[in-house]
Amino acid sequence: MATATATAADERVSGSSALGKVFKRPEVGALVAAIAVFVFFAVTTDTFATASGASTWLRSASTIGIMAVAVALLMIGGEFDLSAGAMTGFTGLAVGVMTTEWGLNIWAAMLVSLVLALGIGLLNGVLVMRTGLPSFIVTLGTFFVLQGINLAAVKAIIGQVAIQGMTNVPFYDQPHALFGSNVEIAGGRVYASVFWWILVTAVATWVLLKTRVGNWIFAVGGAQISARQVGVPVARTKIGLFMTTAGAGWLVGMLLLFTTSTVQSNTGVGQEFIYIICAVVGGCLLTGGYGSAVGAALGALIYGMTNQGIVYAGWDNNWLKAFLGVMLLGAVLLNEAVRRRAERSR
């Protein structure tokens, strides 16, 4: 009898421990919030939960989600990138100018655009690590440089601030199939960006949880000095994270360009704060060393559902800004409480 009682007690403790580990995951709060937002708009609107409605908010969430995941990795590593939004417009504009104005092969233009993006990410990382300046300041400077190029340089070259005629570019259909196509599922259209979003989230999660690089990312964000002392390549890791964010900006730029066949000079401007909000809602701490790629993807899903849900409900679109502010504050407070509780339980 005593043995049976002890075994039952062990099972209860084991179950409680497993449940406790689940609730300590960074993305749990975002998952609960995503379910709540979905149920609310599904009940209060007629279109939100339909196939066509879901197609709209999934497409909206996907490009935000790709960037939010990359920004989350950078935030876990203890840094920020305020140029991430402008980068999405810069890469699309670069491809548009090189193909429609200069006649460069579209695949070559995409490759040049990627190299430019990675080069800017490399520059951001090197400046942060070599100067010791906050990444907030360095990337704010990069943001203004990219914004100026997107507006002034593009206007000087093509005489306007929007790319036109992409569909007439030779071989346009090839990258369009990869980045801008869609498939019909259950009566709704699922765009390529959604599949790219899932892929990026899966790869980022694998890197964070299953690789040595993931351990380095958590280490440099949580305790940079200690990480360096035990042999973690701090500079290389952080520079790699800046380049990853820039690479994600290129990917989103291609998705936007080939989905709509155009891009404007103000594309992506202001989105950098939404990426950060999604990452924080997904469990990332502003101080680094803690977070989740899945959580950031869920944060983007919440944004996409709310953005379209407000439209379907017939509300004033400006309420979205108020919602983002409340969501950010609530997420910061919740993440801090979870972190403190986790530290006490160690």
What was the pLDDT predicted at 16? 45
User: How many residues make up the chain in this entry?
Assistant: 346
Does the reported pTM lie above 0.85?
yes
Separation CA 202–CA 205 (nearest Å): 5
What sign has the CA pseudo-torsion 254, 301, 296, 148? positive
Place of tokens 């090197």: 126
| C-alpha span between 84 and 275 (Å, rounded) | 9
Per-residue model confidence (pLDDT) at position 325: 85
CB 141 within 8 A of CB 80: no
**What pLDDT was estimated at residue 342?**
59
Q: How many CB atoms lie within 10 A of CB 330?
A: 14
Whole-angstrom Cα distance, residue 238 to residue 216?
A: 9
Residues lower than pLDDT 50 in the chain? 1-16
Structure tokens at 12: 């209860």
Q: Tell me the backbone φ, ψ of residue 183, rounded to 5 degrees.
A: -125, 150
pLDDT number for residue 1: 45
User: SS3 of 162, please?
Assistant: strand
The answer to whether the CB of 222 falls within 8 A of the CB of 288 is yes
The predicted structure's pLDDT at residue 338? 66
Write phi, then psi, for 184 (nearest 5 degrees): -95, 125
239 three-class SS: helix
pLDDT value, residue 93: 96
- DSSP-derived letter for residue 256 is H
Q: What is the pLDDT of residues 8-47, one digit of tens each?
A: 434 334 444 555 566 567 788 888 889 999 999 999 999 9
Looking at residue 186, what is its pLDDT? 82
d(CA 141, CA 41): 39
175 within 8 A of 258, measured Cβ to Cβ: yes
pLDDT of res. 343: 60
256-293 per-position pLDDT tens digit: 999 999 999 999 898 999 999 999 999 898 888 889 99
Q: What is the pLDDT of residues 125-135, one digit of tens each?
A: 999 999 999 99
Which CB contacts under 8 angstroms, 24+ apart, belong to 316-320? none
Query: Is the Cβ–Cβ distance between 254 and 179 less than 8 Å?
Result: yes
Provide the pLDDT for residue 339. 63
Q: What 3-state class would DSSP assign to 318? A: coil
